[in-house]
Amino acid sequence: MIVLTCGVCLLVVRVMGDTQQVSFLVGEHSPFWPDKYKCPRCGGVALATTLDRAPPELLASPGVLFLEAEELFAALNGLGLPEERKASKDVVEGLLKEHRVVRVGGENFPTTTRCRVDWLDLDDGTRLFFAAGGRGAVVYRVRRPHSYVEKTDGKSDT
């Protein structure tokens, strides 16, 4: 088992599940080990350690996020944390009605008048991530703004 820690946003992830699956997806036998981890929340450098080497006070903090190996693997590959994958039409429509778009990520296609949209930033700090789908654009991730104050006050669930 492993523990992933981000020194930037203070995210602590304890990986649960089958030992062999953890090892091959996100642990000692994965392409991430030992120094290629990026924080799935902020993108900062994250450090991994085995559960037996993790400081006990780190694991006792109330903000520890418990993830299955598959969930962390998806997050490390850009799909977001489980709570960020709630991107239904109702969620997206509510966000776009309540907040204004302040920045668009993407690029123009050369020699055309079209562009590709990768993400939209909203005025509250939320980012909507887009991908191509067979029937149109797909919002696959909604990353809400992270509050360092809530994290240090213990009011945040992650």
User: Tens of pLDDT along the chain (158 residues)?
Assistant: 788 888 888 888 999 889 999 999 999 999 998 889 999 888 889 988 887 676 766 667 777 888 999 999 999 998 889 999 999 999 999 999 999 999 999 999 999 999 999 999 999 999 999 999 999 999 999 999 876 555 445 444 44
Q: How far apart are the first and last CA of the chain?
A: 19
The verdict on 6 and 20 lying in the same domain is yes
Contact (CB, 8 A) for 3 and 15: yes
The verdict on 106 and 69 lying in the same domain is no
Q: How many domains does the chain have?
A: 2
The verdict on 7 and 73 lying in the same domain is yes
User: Residue 153: inside a domain, yes or no?
Assistant: no
